[in-house]
Structure 1
Amino acid sequence: MAPLIPRLHLFEIDDQPWFPAFLRSRIQNALTAAWNSNTPLQPQSPARIAASTLIRELDSSLSSYTFIDFCAGGGGPTPAIQKAINTHLKAEGEPPVDFILTDLHPNVGAWEKVVKNFPQIAYERQPVDASKAPNHLVECQDGKKVMRLFNLAFHHFGDALARDILRDTVNTSHGFAIFELQDRSLSSMISVFMLGVASVVMAPAFAWKWRDPISLAFSWLMPALPFVLVFDGIVSCLRTRTPNEIESLLRGCGADTSSWEMRSGKCKFIWPCGYLSWVICRPVERT
């Protein structure tokens, strides 16, 4: 059923070129923490749910892909997804798969810490436009196919840009997966306010963990970080597309999508109203 709230592509503060880079990186770090958090209200982290979804939906073809994370931010759920998928593949006697982090605003400092701990993850240092992915990223390597990941990212694109990205994906890749932590519903907006409150409450702990007093100052003394998290979170809800809306963009992107099939679903990640929504689309060989 279509949501009662129409899609509105309003501006997000974090998208703006004037937004300070030192605050953008901390917003990205906060979202990474949200992806990977486990609390009494969360039986599984959103990252773990995303990994389980990929394992289930890709099934026996899982090991045939290289996963490229477009709009990776501070790393988001990709390290946890990588760990869960490669642990699963090892148990199945399959070779590991590689992941590559990319972004239009590369957070190289955060990514360098990630790759030190996860040898199956690499990153692209230069800015990457998802609508014009560089050939060296999307060319098949070692016989692997390319699966594009959009983790809490696809809602950032207006319709014209989203079509361009989907056209580039169909022409150069072998599938895409979209994971969102929100949708166009009142309950999702409530979960965004919960994130804002949590960011204030947990600010001292994260400042200590990251040795980052600046994040504490901009959470308590001048609460710019929680404000941006909540403001952009509400706008993200209003921007998020339904699976039918994504499929409409796909079919109208100008590429041959006749063999591409889409699956979608949602899973609760935090009580009472936080849901992870997912779309996985790839070409299917017909017999």
Structure 2
Amino acid sequence: MAPLIPRLHLLEIDDQPWFPSFLRNLVQDALTLAWNSNTPLQPESPARIAASTLIRQLGSSLSSYTFIDFCAGGGGPTPEMQRAINSHLSAQNKPPVDFILTDLHPNIAAWQKIVKKSPRIMYESQSVDASNAPKYLMERQDGKKVMRLFNLSFHHFDDDMAKHILKDTVNTSHGFAIVELQGRSLSSAISVLMLGVGAVAMAPFVAWKRKSLTIFIFACIIPVLPFVLVFDGLVSCLRTRTPEEVESLLRGCGTDTSSWEMQSGRRKFIWPCGYLHWVICKPIEGS
């Protein structure tokens, strides 16, 4: 059922060029923590839910892909998704898969730490435009197919840019997966407010663990971090598309998509009202 609230492409603070890069990195770190958290209200992390969704939807073809994370930010759920998917493939005695982190504004420092811990994850140090992905990245020498990942990022694109990205995806890739932690609903707005409260509550512990006075100052004393998380989170709710809206953009992107089929769904990731929304689209087998 279509949401009652129309999609509004409002501005997010974290997207603005004037927003300090060190604060942007803190926002990305907070979102990464949200992706990977397990709490009494959140018994399974969103990253694990995203991984299990890919495992279920791609089935026996899972190991035939390389997963390229566009708009990877600080890494988000990708390291945990990689672990879950490759653990599943190992148990099935199937070849592992690789993940590649990319972004228009690469976060090299964060990615280097990830790569040191995860041998199946690589990163592209050059800026990557999702609407015009470079051939050397998309044409895999190992013969693997490319599945594009948009983790908490597809809502950032306006309709024109989204169409260009989908056209480039259809022309150069073998599928895409969109995962969002919010939708255009009151329940999503409530879960965003919970994220802000959680950011304040967890800040002293995270600051102590990382020996970072900056985190404590900008989360508790001058609460810029929780404000941006809540403000941008509410805007993200208004920006997020339904599966039907994504499909409409896909079919109107200016290239042949007749062989592409779309699946979608949602799963609760935090009690009582936080839902992970997913869209996976790829060509029909044998087409």
TM-score range, shorter chain: over 0.9
Once residues 114 and 51 of structure 1 are traced to their aligned partners in structure 2, the CA distance between those partners, rounded to angstroms, is 17
Residue of structure 1 in register with 2:198 after alignment: 198
Cα RMSD after superposing both structures: 0.8
Alignment of 1:73-84 (within 5 A): 73-84=73-84
Alignment of 1:105-184 (within 5 A): 105-184=105-184
Residue of structure 1 in register with 2:228 after alignment: 228
Once residues 165 and 5 of structure 2 are traced to their aligned partners in structure 1, the CA distance between those partners, rounded to angstroms, is 25
Once residues 103 and 210 of structure 1 are traced to their aligned partners in structure 2, the CA distance between those partners, rounded to angstroms, is 25
Amino acid at match of 1:17: P
Q: Which runs of no fewer than 5 residues in structure 1 stay unpaired?
A: none
SS in 2 for 1:206: helix
Q: Does 1:271 align with 2:271?
A: yes
Residue of structure 1 in register with 2:44 after alignment: 44
User: How much has 1:286 moved relative to structure 2?
Assistant: 4.5
Deviation digits for residues 53-102 of structure 1 (CA, Å, limit 9, x no counterpart): 00000000000000000011110000000000000000000111000001
Deviation digits for residues 113-159 of structure 1 (CA, Å, limit 9, x no counterpart): 10000000001112111001111111122110000000000000000
Q: Does 1:242 align with 2:242?
A: yes
Moved more, 208-217 or 227-236: 208-217
Residue of structure 2 in register with 1:66 after alignment: 66
Q: Which runs of no fewer than 5 residues in structure 2 stay unpaired?
A: none
Once residues 240 and 190 of structure 1 are traced to their aligned partners in structure 2, the CA distance between those partners, rounded to angstroms, is 15
Once residues 185 and 210 of structure 2 are traced to their aligned partners in structure 1, the CA distance between those partners, rounded to angstroms, is 33
SS in 2 for 1:204: helix
SS in 2 for 1:170: helix
Amino acid at match of 2:47: A
Alignment of 1:10-49 (within 5 A): 10-49=10-49
User: How much has 1:14 moved relative to structure 2?
Assistant: 0.5
Residue of structure 2 in register with 1:253 after alignment: 253
Amino acid at match of 2:189: M
Once residues 276 and 141 of structure 1 are traced to their aligned partners in structure 2, the CA distance between those partners, rounded to angstroms, is 33
Q: Does 1:262 align with 2:262?
A: yes
Once residues 272 and 155 of structure 2 are traced to their aligned partners in structure 1, the CA distance between those partners, rounded to angstroms, is 23
Once residues 149 and 86 of structure 1 are traced to their aligned partners in structure 2, the CA distance between those partners, rounded to angstroms, is 16
Amino acid at match of 2:254: G
Once residues 42 and 283 of structure 2 are traced to their aligned partners in structure 1, the CA distance between those partners, rounded to angstroms, is 34
Once residues 200 and 152 of structure 2 are traced to their aligned partners in structure 1, the CA distance between those partners, rounded to angstroms, is 21
Amino acid at match of 2:162: A
Once residues 285 and 193 of structure 1 are traced to their aligned partners in structure 2, the CA distance between those partners, rounded to angstroms, is 42
Residue of structure 2 in register with 1:219 after alignment: 219
Once residues 127 and 102 of structure 1 are traced to their aligned partners in structure 2, the CA distance between those partners, rounded to angstroms, is 7
User: How much has 1:209 moved relative to structure 2?
Assistant: 2.5
Amino acid at match of 1:279: V
Deviation digits for residues 178-208 of structure 1 (CA, Å, limit 9, x no counterpart): 0000000011000000000000000011112
User: How much has 1:221 moved relative to structure 2?
Assistant: 1.5
Once residues 263 and 231 of structure 1 are traced to their aligned partners in structure 2, the CA distance between those partners, rounded to angstroms, is 30
User: How much has 1:255 moved relative to structure 2?
Assistant: 1.1
User: How much has 1:213 moved relative to structure 2?
Assistant: 1.6
Once residues 272 and 141 of structure 1 are traced to their aligned partners in structure 2, the CA distance between those partners, rounded to angstroms, is 45
Moved more, 184-193 or 277-286: 277-286
Deviation digits for residues 8-57 of structure 1 (CA, Å, limit 9, x no counterpart): 00000001111111111110000000000000011210000000000000
